Amino acid sequence: MRRRTFLKGTLMGAAATAVPLSALAQGSAAAAGTVTVGSIAALQSAIDGAVAGDRIVLADGSYTVPSSGIRVTGRNGTTSAPISIVAASRGGAVLNGPVSFVLSASSNITISGFAFRQTTGLAIPADCPRIRLTRNDFKLADTAGLDWVTVRGDDAKVDRNHFHHRTSQGIFLVVDGPGTTAMAQRTHILRNYFADHSYSGANGGEAIRLGVSHRALSSAAALVEHNLFERCDGDPEAISVKSSGNTIRYNTLRDSKGGIVLRHGNGTTVDGNHVLGGENGVRLYGNDHLVVNNHVSGTTSRGIVIGSGTTRDHHDGETTEQRRGNDACDRAVIAHNTLVGNSATLSGESRTHEPRDVVVADNILVASSGSLVDLGTTTGFTWQGNILWGAASDGTIPSGGFRRVDPLLRKDADGVHRLTATSPAVGSATLASLSLAEDADGHARGTTRDVGADEYSSLAPVRRPLTPTEVGPNAA
């Protein structure tokens, strides 16, 4: 596959890939309150006097930012009239030096179109709500331990950015919070392109990390949707969730070591994601998760893992070491997923505390070798309506929880295995307690649902696995 690279870190690269601003992306060049500047000093002066609705444009060029950074202090737009700080064209203003923007006591600020090439990360502090980072290119220093963007303020939006090319330990995007246990609220991570992290260590190279162990019991209400992850090989967890109450939906992970992992926390929904090739699928710990409509195929490790624990439940008052341990998966609902051709399909682990009271219903599991279900000790599981097929053995699934019948899937050009009209999966879902409006393709489920991630339809999919043209700085 031909790689798409938005910017490679030189002014020549910026000029070659720069795209003029559009009203959709960053407003009209003739907008009221617009000023264009051609130096960092002039940019700083314009920011210092900015008021709601102002739009400050930095001319294309390569700039060295002083060690004090570009300060955004005490500047407050409104939700309908943010203060916008933008590059004249996407990728046309390249920011070099140790620091980029330094925000404090500000709100409703949009930072758009820059190429960041700093030696330190960019932070959205807790006293800066409603900050938007959009259509930027992040290729910061390839320094071990450096997290490139950290969000601590509420209602941040990180959309249509490109995070790419590093070989060291460190995370592209971290959502954190104030104090020691709280989480930033309602972060929206949308249509970003995460690519080419080749760190070879055991862990610490996630593309996105939502929280951290000591914040795990705090709800973040983050929404991670329509992002593309390609060759994200810095960690087994491309999306690492270490907080509660999040939604991970409609993302595509392709040819990546990292999967979607609910490592700590409770009550997260994983819906309508595509994991195509690579190594890891979906792995979950903690309580009350919903895992539905996901398509996982061709991974060299495990499709879905229902985790066991070193503890039954995480709770207040744990030591740091206890909180780092695994929380057994309890009361999850795993339904309407399609898993095809993975090295291991649905599997478990062997820690002290077994998973309990999990519902596994109306999934399609297909493989040519190994066991389709390989779980150790479980308690109170509900198995129903699943379809198993292929030369792989049934494994440890109880006999009343499945049918062994060919689901008559077809593999389409986008890599997704969908139902055909005569599939026995059509209209045969059994989990009446679950309400699902759509399938992985964005088609209506209706009152009589089909088994697996796909609801049979003759219509073209509304959602498909994402490609590089649909994410990043030039996405719609």
Strands (E) across 348-443 are located at: 359-361, 364-366, 371-374, 382-384, 386-389, 393-395, 402-404, 409-411, 417-419
HSE value, Cβ hemisphere, 13 Å, CA-based, for 180: 3
What tens digit of pLDDT does each residue of 188-222 get? 999 999 999 999 888 899 999 999 999 999 999 99
Distance CA 49, CA 47 (A): 5
What pLDDT does 97 receive?
97
Give yes or no for a contact between 120 and 92, defined as CB atoms under 8 angstroms apart.
no
Tokens of 171: 């995370």
Q: Which whole number is the average pLDDT over 387-403? A: 98
Least confident residue range of 232-236, 320-324, 366-370: 320-324
Residue 469 has pLDDT above 60, yes or no: yes
Is residue 470 classed as helix, strand or coil in its secondary structure? helix
Q: What is the pLDDT of residues 104-143, one digit of tens each?
A: 999 999 999 999 999 999 999 999 999 999 999 999 999 9
DSSP secondary structure string for all residues of 341-363:
S-SEEEE---SSBPPBS-EEES-
Burial of residue 302, with CB atoms counted within 10 A of its CB: 0-12 exposed, 13-18 middle, 19 or more buried: buried
Question: Domain 142-470 belongs to what topology?
Answer: Pectate Lyase C-like (2.160.20)
Residue of 444 and 31 predicted with greater confidence? 444
Which two three-digit tokens encode residue 391?
Answer: 């030369």
What integer pLDDT is reported at residue 5 of this predicted model?
34
pTM for the complete prediction? Answer: 0.93
From 417, 406, 419, select the one nearest 450 (Cα to Cα). Answer: 419
β-strand partners of 150? 123, 174
The 3-state DSSP class for residue 13 equals: helix
pLDDT for 200 equals 87
C-alpha to C-alpha distance for 136 and 123, rounded to whole angstroms: 14
Sequence-separated (6 or more) residues with CB below 8 Å from residue 43: 37, 56, 58, 70, 85
pLDDT band at 322 (very low <50, low <70, confident <90, very high): confident
CB atoms within 10 A of CB 64: 11
Q: How confident is the model at residue 169 (pLDDT cuts 50, 70, 90)?
A: very high
H or E element at residue 48: helix 40-48
CB 451 within 8 A of CB 416: no
Residues 46-68, mean pLDDT to the nearest whole number: 98
Phi, psi at 467, each rounded to 5°: -120, 165
Contacts of 422 (CB under 8 A, 6+ apart): 408
Q: Kindly report the CA angle at 59 between 57 and 61, in degrees rounded to 5?
A: 140
Mean pLDDT, residues 281-289: 98
